Structure 1
Amino acid sequence: MMDGYVVSVADALELHPELSDIAPVPQIPRRRERVLDMPDLDMGMLDFLSLYGCELQYVVGERNSIMGRVMQPLNRLRYETRFIRAAETCISETDGEDIQEELEEAIAHKTESLPIAIWNATWGVEEIERLFTLSQGYYPGSGDDKVLAELSSGVKRVNQTVRGLLDGNTDEPLDYVGGVHQLWQAEHRAGQLLNSARLITARLEDATALLTRRVEGAPLCSGSEPEAPPDELVDIYTDGYGADIEDYLGRIEQAREALIKPLDTLAAQQSETMPSAFRDWYRLYLETGNTDSVWGQLARAITAHKERWQQLLTQCGAFPQ
């Protein structure tokens, strides 16, 4: 559709269409660049806590088991929150000052490292790579996108949970997060949106360059009285751009608001934990408020294209609605 639009504009202006190369969007950084090392308690402290007679001994025992030592990021986050809750309960159940000090030290350690566990359970999981894969083409141009609604709802709920955890509420529910991860694994809307944003930007810039050549050349209408622009050109504007292209732009904008913005929030609210290798990619491909990102570039391309159409068609004294 976008290539055809550029060709149609060129034909109507009697110019040669030139389709620029589209710079590929880079993949989301590899998992080893996204996952952060998770500090753990001193083993001597863990041994001590495992012998203490409250629920914490079972939590620590789970971590010390063979399966516990290879926890996936989401399970590790569950463990960290359970540990903090169990340790807080233990403090209220014991009168020994030495034990209370050990527990308080453990809680402080776990609380300090909790943002790392949160990051790894969101941006460090394998499933996020499938959501951002670039191998599944472009965002659909038609149809009721129920998948988008499900993805949007899931990310927004995760954002609420992350905010609560960062604010110190270790009771935040985590049981649903696995289902959100499964949806990320199965769907590819984020990557499709990045592909579409880059494609639309390039082709609008190609069409704008054609319009600019015509605007800066001989006037479209040279008479002193207002006259109608050429029918073919008006058709391209009203049917090609005003209908097909703007309809697709509307879908992209809706999807950006529904999915990309919540994903932006999911990363931004963890900015203090975000690894540097991810930060550069985030700023250019996910940060919707950054004018240098693909979304800022798309916004500029749309504005410039509309302005050139208006400049060209108003040469005839009237601008079609």
Structure 2
Amino acid sequence: MAAPRRSWAFSEPPGKRQAGTRACRSAGCCATGILLIAGAALLGGCGAGGAQEDYREYLTRLARTLSVAAVTPADPSVPALPPPRALHLDLPPGKLDALDFLAISGCAVQVTIGKRNSSLGRMARPSQRLLLDLEYLRLAPQCIAYQRRQGEQALAATLQEAWDLKRSQLPSQIFNATLGGEEYRAFWRAPLDEGDYPADTGSALLTTLEQLNAQAERWLQGDYTADNLEVELLLGQIANGDGGALLRALARQGAALAAADHILAARSERGPLCSATWRPPEVAILDNVVRRFFIGAIQPRAAALNRRYHQLLPPVTRLERLLDAALPPAYRAWRADRDELLADLVQSPRRHVQALQALQRPCAGELPAGPGH
């Protein structure tokens, strides 16, 4: 009796297609796709042991089915951010540090300069330095005009020079407080245990990233108003973000699927899975293994990771583009490594599907079944 023809193609899992499509469209992405055997319902789900157990189970059964040596996935590695010192941009203070505080009486900016020149101001975190500079940029023009009316031309010139300097330093100050600061470093820090990531992610972080981006864009366009508490709260929420979790999860998935591809390649080296006249029993077993342990367990998570990638990266890269001229060389190098790795990792499921299809292709016709059918 001839075995039924099997084919593998891309599709969303039943029950997730509509929601997944909405999520992808809202992020402007094109999902990698879900491998589905035509006419077969998905079996199983994410294993109780999480992603690691799903990968281990699939690799073990795949190697056993194809009678090749088991392959242990490589230890996943992701590019770590350079040390804080390499990312911090040192900015000259200008002449305000030496300015006589009492000479600016009658100006609201006097308080700002006093805070900036205090011992606490000199030791302030990058976000607080940014907020003080924004306050100066907002208040100084009125004081400059006042000093000129009072005939204090030298003082007005000093204040104007400081304003020009702070305006030119603003992209760098924003970088120090955001992409180069401790909150974004925490955002990119990989957790020790990914748990069921990305199941517990949502849109709140995306909104936070976009809100901070909107503030940065507004500041760069000359609107220097800022709500200090709001800015600090946004940064605190970003520190709890999942950039590092996404990188680590994609790297772990990539390593596991690369090991699976190695198993398929080892089997291919022995020749086609099917001959022109014969289909071995392992074809049906392989079909079941792929359906249960790849499609049913790994692919749903792969689709979720793909969606999260296309949701999370755009707001981050938008801020990077806004601050492009201020990015230090160390950050540029890390970003290039990050983007190259991510571009490769998100293709891992597609590469594995293609490897499965290549191995199965000789069995696509109506062939006599081998012994055991």
For the 8 Å contact 1:15–1:210, the answer to whether it is kept is yes
Instruction: Note if 1:165 corresponds to 2:219.
Output: yes
Q: Distance in 2 between matches of 1:143 and 1:249?
A: 11
Instruction: Note if 1:129 corresponds to 2:129.
Output: no
For the 8 Å contact 2:63–2:263, the answer to whether it is kept is yes
User: Which residue in 2 is equivalent to 1:38?
Assistant: 91
Q: Deviations over 1:167-220 (max 9, x none)?
A: 3321254532211222244x3522221111211111111111221233343322
Tell me the secondary structure at the aligned position of residue 42 of structure 1: helix
For the 8 Å contact 1:229–1:313, the answer to whether it is kept is no
User: Which residue in 2 is equivalent to 1:145?
Assistant: 201
Q: Distance in 2 between matches of 1:23 and 1:131?
A: 19
Q: Distance in 2 between matches of 1:228 and 1:134?
A: 43
Tell me the secondary structure at the aligned position of residue 140 of structure 1: coil
Instruction: Note if 1:76 corresponds to 2:129.
Output: yes
User: Which residue in 1 is equivalent to 2:360?
Assistant: 313
Out of 160-169 and 71-80, give the one that drifted further. Answer: 160-169
1:298 to 345, 355, 370: 345
1:230 to 270, 283, 301: 283
User: Which residue in 2 is equivalent to 1:21?
Assistant: 74
User: Which residue in 1 is equivalent to 2:158?
Assistant: 102
Out of 106-115 and 265-274, give the one that drifted further. Answer: 265-274
Instruction: Note if 1:242 corresponds to 2:295.
Output: yes
User: Which residue in 2 is equivalent to 1:51?
Assistant: 104
Q: CA RMSD in A?
A: 2.7
1:82 Cα deviation from its structure 2 partner = 0.7
For the 8 Å contact 1:131–1:189, the answer to whether it is kept is yes
Q: Distance in 2 between matches of 1:140 and 1:116?
A: 37
One-letter identity of the residue aligned with 2:67: E
One-letter identity of the residue aligned with 2:236: Q
Asked which structure has the greater CA Rg, the reply is 2
How many residues align? The count is 310
Structure 2 residue runs of 5 or longer lacking an equivalent are 1-53, 367-373
Distance 1:3 1:268, change over 3 A: farther
Instruction: Considering Cα pairs closer than 8 Å and 6+ residues apart, tell me whether 1 or 2 has the greater RCO.
Output: 2
Q: Distance in 2 between matches of 1:244 and 1:4?
A: 10
Instruction: Note if 1:181 corresponds to 2:228.
Output: no
Distance 1:18 1:238, change over 3 A: same
Q: Percent identity?
A: 25
Out of 96-105 and 72-81, give the one that drifted further. Answer: 96-105
Out of 39-48 and 16-25, give the one that drifted further. Answer: 39-48
Q: Distance in 2 between matches of 1:74 and 1:318?
A: 65
For the 8 Å contact 2:66–2:282, the answer to whether it is kept is no
Distance 1:251 1:61, change over 3 A: same
1:63 to 111, 116, 128: 116
Distance 1:242 1:44, change over 3 A: closer
Structure 1 residue runs of 5 or longer lacking an equivalent are 288-292
TM-score, length-scaled by structure 2: 0.74
User: Which residue in 2 is equivalent to 1:275?
Assistant: 328
Out of 16-25 and 198-207, give the one that drifted further. Answer: 16-25
- Point out 4+ residue stretches in structure 1 off by more than 6 angstroms: 225-229
Instruction: Note if 1:257 corresponds to 2:304.
Output: no
